[in-house]
Structure 1
Amino acid sequence: MPKSDDHEDTAVIYTDGACSGNPGPGGWGVYFKWGEHEKELYGSDKDTTNNRMELMAAIQALETLKRPMKILLYTDSSYVRNGIMTWMANWKRNGWINSQKQPVKNADLWKRLDEAASRHDVEWRWVRGHSGDIGNERADRLAVKGRDEAAGRG
């Protein structure tokens, strides 16, 4: 009988975004761990926002997986976690219009995240950024690397 903290069959993923200016050059980072395997991903955009990079990190993490999986996804972005867990159902029901009767910001990425998440069993968890959590710190370093490359400092 597996212990409740045994995550051999579960991918543990940390995601983070970074931006210099808002908008400005940005980067996203992903740190995966499943069983004995680890993987890091990062990317960038020369003109973006922090929220778009936070979303892109989660999208890239979920789209990279080749088969449906059980996932614990950690983000330090309340925007991403609240959006996927609380706000999205209403946005979809209201034709991607928010509670202020305005088009949802970053709807293109929210729709892409919704599609990517639908292929997996994702448990969304929030982690405080810059608090010493090893997975979050690794994702942050990758996002900063992407941001610095976008800004021409890589």
Structure 2
Amino acid sequence: MKMILFTMEIIDAKDDNYKIKISRDLESSVIEFNTIKKELQFLSDNILTDYLKINEYQLRKMLHNKRRDTYFVGFAVKFVLSDGKDVAAFNDRSKILVLDKRNNNYKSYAIEEHKVDKKIYKIFTDASYLEKKEYGGYAFIIEDLEGKYNLYTEKVDKIGSCQAELEAAIKALKILKDIKRLRIITDSQYVRKGLTEWLPIWKFNGFKTVNGEPPKNIEKWLSFDEACNDKYIEFQWVKGHSDHFENSLCDMYARKAAKELSR
């Protein structure tokens, strides 16, 4: 999946309508976006505009996710569109997202669950974190190729909910450092999509979000990425609190770890 780098600059504003100049090399295109109605218009007619129309879904998603307070004349930031990305597949939660970092590659794609290898090491993770009290815990289960379980729990404090979710996955990968093929099963979209979608873009655009700010928890993301080196990893999402056995078990033990820290 090829990534293409662009620059966007807000050049005019009237009420909630913003004119945005998008440039790549020597070519540019102007669009208009309404931050309230979420309406997008293409004002130019050239090859770059045609490309933006082909990738309109990615463009819209970026504009929708951009905070309203960062829409002002003069704002400029680099952003990335992924050429040939199957956006619908990546957004389909029933699909498994794959990160393949073997042989110095960085490939990510989506596949249907029935097409994956059933005999693979599995990591089930969950975290419980009380933001107001700034403590919590995480738990993960490692299932080996024979179907045997090993449960691990850890107490955490002052790192945040999302960081606790990442820490669980990182710790499990470190335990399985010699295993090259594995699957992470999680109820966190944050964990599922971070390495397969977000981090490659951050690396490419100088570690900036569409709001022009550094991504949150970047140190954890880089540690997560490093733990995946030379591995083939599948990310499977399960709905939390839906009677999924391993997820429910991890949730129970993560809460138990958090309670122990509060004593």
What TM-score range do you get, normalising by the shorter chain? 0.7 to 0.9
Task: Report SS of the residue matched to 1:74.
Answer: strand
- Which residue pairs with 2:183 in the alignment? 72
Q: Which of these residues, 129, 143, 161, is aligned with residue 19 of structure 1?
A: 129
Q: Which of these residues, 28, 41, 44, is aligned with residue 138 of structure 2?
A: 28
Matched positions, count: 149
1:19–1:48: 8 Å Cα contact kept in structure 2?
no
1:68–1:119: 8 Å Cα contact kept in structure 2?
no
- Which residue pairs with 2:250 in the alignment? 139
1:48 to partner: Cα distance: 2.5
- Which residue pairs with 2:237 in the alignment? 126
5+ residue gaps in structure 1?
A: none
Letter of the 2:125 counterpart: T
- Whether 1:37 aligns to 2:148 is yes
1:23 to partner: Cα distance: 6.4
Structure richer in strand, relative to its length: 2
**1:149/1:96 Cα in 2 relative to 1: closer, same or farther (>3 Å)?**
farther
Letter of the 1:98 counterpart: T
2:177–2:227: 8 Å Cα contact kept in structure 1?
no
Q: Matches of 1:111 and 1:39 in 2, distance apart?
A: 26
1:5 to partner: Cα distance: 7.5
Provide, for residues 29-53 of structure 1, a one-character-per-residue CA deviation record: whole Å limited to 9, x for no partner: 1011111321111112222211011
1:150 to partner: Cα distance: 2.3
Letter of the 2:124 counterpart: Y
1:11–1:72: 8 Å Cα contact kept in structure 2?
yes
Q: Higher mean Cα deviation, 70-79 or 90-99?
A: 90-99
**1:11/1:46 Cα in 2 relative to 1: closer, same or farther (>3 Å)?**
same
1:141 to partner: Cα distance: 1.7
- Which residue pairs with 2:71 in the alignment? none
1:22–1:48: 8 Å Cα contact kept in structure 2?
no
- Which residue pairs with 2:167 in the alignment? 56
TM-score of the aligned structures, taking structure 1 as reference length = 0.87
Letter of the 1:20 counterpart: L
5+ residue gaps in structure 2?
A: 1-114
Task: Report SS of the residue matched to 1:48.
Answer: coil
Matches within 5 A, 1:92-103: 92-103=203-214
1:25–1:150: 8 Å Cα contact kept in structure 2?
yes
Letter of the 2:160 counterpart: T
2:180–2:231: 8 Å Cα contact kept in structure 1?
yes
Identity of aligned residues (%): 30
Structure richer in helix, relative to its length: 1
Task: Report SS of the residue matched to 1:18.
Answer: strand
Name which structure has the greater RCO, CA cutoff 8 Å, separation 6+. Answer: 1
Greater radius of gyration (CA):
2
What's the Cα RMSD here?
A: 2.0
Q: Matches of 2:209 and 2:152 in 1, distance apart?
A: 31
Q: Matches of 1:79 and 1:66 in 2, distance apart?
A: 22
Q: Matches of 2:210 and 2:239 in 1, distance apart?
A: 27
Task: Report SS of the residue matched to 1:135.
Answer: helix
Letter of the 1:40 counterpart: L
Q: Matches of 1:68 and 1:119 in 2, distance apart?
A: 10
**1:95/1:147 Cα in 2 relative to 1: closer, same or farther (>3 Å)?**
farther
Letter of the 1:110 counterpart: W
- Which residue pairs with 2:199 in the alignment? 88
